[in-house]
Chains A and B, each alone.
Chain A
């Protein structure tokens, strides 16, 4: 299953606007497009860590504002784990 589908599942409880969630693409921005409360970004990162079995450092976390950037961080951490 592509990472974007897992990601969509993870962020579902944090998004009120379910139409925006349906139309999610790589370019979707968590704060401006999905109107996620910025305080919840730390919770999303924790959920991602749990789902993918990775640890995300603060520098990487700060980049995770769009779907595309988030997927990139997940793939990078997975690759580190594999290595």
Chain B
């Protein structure tokens, strides 16, 4: 039994748009969500800019009960739940309050950590001999699966409820895991997505590794520069993306709007062998992930109209372009269009994959390619591989059919998914 799988709902919480409408408008117009971050300066970070979703109390209160909010200190859960609820609603699904859960629907919602602020306050209490004052909420907020547990309860889901975690590939991996579950007939509908905690305790480790830029503290919106010659590191950020995946049969039966079809994909690892390490990707594995994804989707590399890359604005961007070019066997003017969302929203770590999948699916559904910002000074190594016209700096309205989306993460892990515009036969 092999079900076709389509996307019927999207949700997003981003620094440049806290709902789908705002986000779509922002990415079409190249709007940056990166701001000066006073807290990072106060804590003596070298990078003092970040991209944080600007959520209002009203929005948060609409997603959580008074009791849940009483001690909620996990931004990963806040962003994840809000994005998930938006995607569910966007898919035209309702929240039922029946005795039985919805056995046919589940969620695979990833995160890197959960509730780092809750962990911090809990550790202070424990060390202060106040362990009993942790109350009942420390576990649910700090367990890695906190975000999927909250989502499962709010939506009354009765199928698989889990959290995947694979660094920067987390969100794309969640889409592929959800896809497999529906394809194999184990679920009718899966809410895929990922989120990341916000703030200095998450971003500090990256600042210490000197992988975040410190050259743009005075001009935040210029800070995140994927593919640029003057790229000097990524801008830390946060948020969540959510996608409702569903069997084509179910989507057609209930007359749902269909954004795109998930044709297939691949996840793999370079095993930290060859050129691969904990922090650097093994190029052989990256290329293999892309070619295997293409094979799995039943297309050829020539079919790809547009790529949404990982492209973080570190020195690795040129290598990523080289990997795409080799994997697709396409270069110069023959290379597909490629863009990076990170120019606008920075690098939301474990949320990157899902937020970028949302942006990718929006492009396919609405026939546009959002502009790359901050790469007016394209890196010469990139120009040597592909034609600059493949990297649009202005919005392009164009009919698109197939988009390839990949992310690469610490641990030498890779994920690539192939989306296709859905057309009713």
Q: How far is the CA of A78 from the CA of B137 in the complex (A)?
A: 27
Contacts of B94 in A (CB 8 A): none
Q: A3 within 8 Å of B by Cβ? A: no
Q: Which residues 32-62 of A sit at the B interface, judged by CB distance below 8 A?
A: 39-40, 42-43, 46
Beta-carbon nearest neighbor of A46 in chain B: B135
Q: Which residues 109-162 of B sit at the A interface, judged by CB distance below 8 A?
A: 132-133, 135-137
Contacts of B71 in A (CB 8 A): 43
A9 smallest CB distance to B (angstroms): 13
Q: How far is the CA of A62 from the CA of B137 in the complex (A)?
A: 19
Q: How far is the CA of A19 from the CA of B118 in the complex (A)?
A: 33
Question: Do B67 and A42 have beta carbons less than 8 Å apart?
Answer: no
Q: How many residues of B contact A (CB 8 A)?
A: 9
Q: A13 within 8 Å of B by Cβ? A: yes
Question: Do A42 and B135 have beta carbons less than 8 Å apart?
Answer: yes
Question: Do A43 and B66 have beta carbons less than 8 Å apart?
Answer: no
Q: How far is the CA of A34 from the CA of B389 in the complex (A)?
A: 65
Question: Do B133 and A13 have beta carbons less than 8 Å apart?
Answer: no
* Residue in contact with A14 in the complex, picked from B67, B132, B133, CB distance below 8 Å: B67
Q: B70 within 8 Å of A by Cβ? A: yes
Q: How far is the CA of A78 from the CA of B155 in the complex (A)?
A: 43
Contacts of A43 in B (CB 8 A): 70-71, 135-137
Q: Mark B58-76, 1 if CB is under 8 A from A, else 0.
A: 0000000011001100000
Contacts of A46 in B (CB 8 A): 132-133, 135
Looking at chain A, what size class is its interface with the partner chain?
A: under 10
Question: Do A40 and B136 have beta carbons less than 8 Å apart?
Answer: yes
Question: Do A13 and B136 have beta carbons less than 8 Å apart?
Answer: no
Contacts of A40 in B (CB 8 A): 67, 136
Question: Do A13 and B135 have beta carbons less than 8 Å apart?
Answer: no
Contacts of B136 in A (CB 8 A): 39-40, 42-43
Contacts of B132 in A (CB 8 A): 42, 46
Q: Mark A18-42, 1 if CB is under 8 A from B, else 0.
A: 0000000000000000000001101
Q: How far is the CA of A14 from the CA of B67 in the complex (A)?
A: 6
Q: How far is the CA of A53 from the CA of B66 in the complex (A)?
A: 24
Q: How far is the CA of A66 from the CA of B66 in the complex (A)?
A: 23
Beta-carbon nearest neighbor of A39 in chain B: B136
Q: How far is the CA of A40 from the CA of B70 in the complex (A)?
A: 12
Contacts of B67 in A (CB 8 A): 13-14, 40
B143 smallest CB distance to A (angstroms): 14
Question: Do B66 and A13 have beta carbons less than 8 Å apart?
Answer: yes
10 contacts between A and B (CB under 8 A): A13-B66, A13-B70, A40-B67, A42-B132, A42-B135, A43-B71, A43-B135, A43-B137, A46-B133, A46-B135
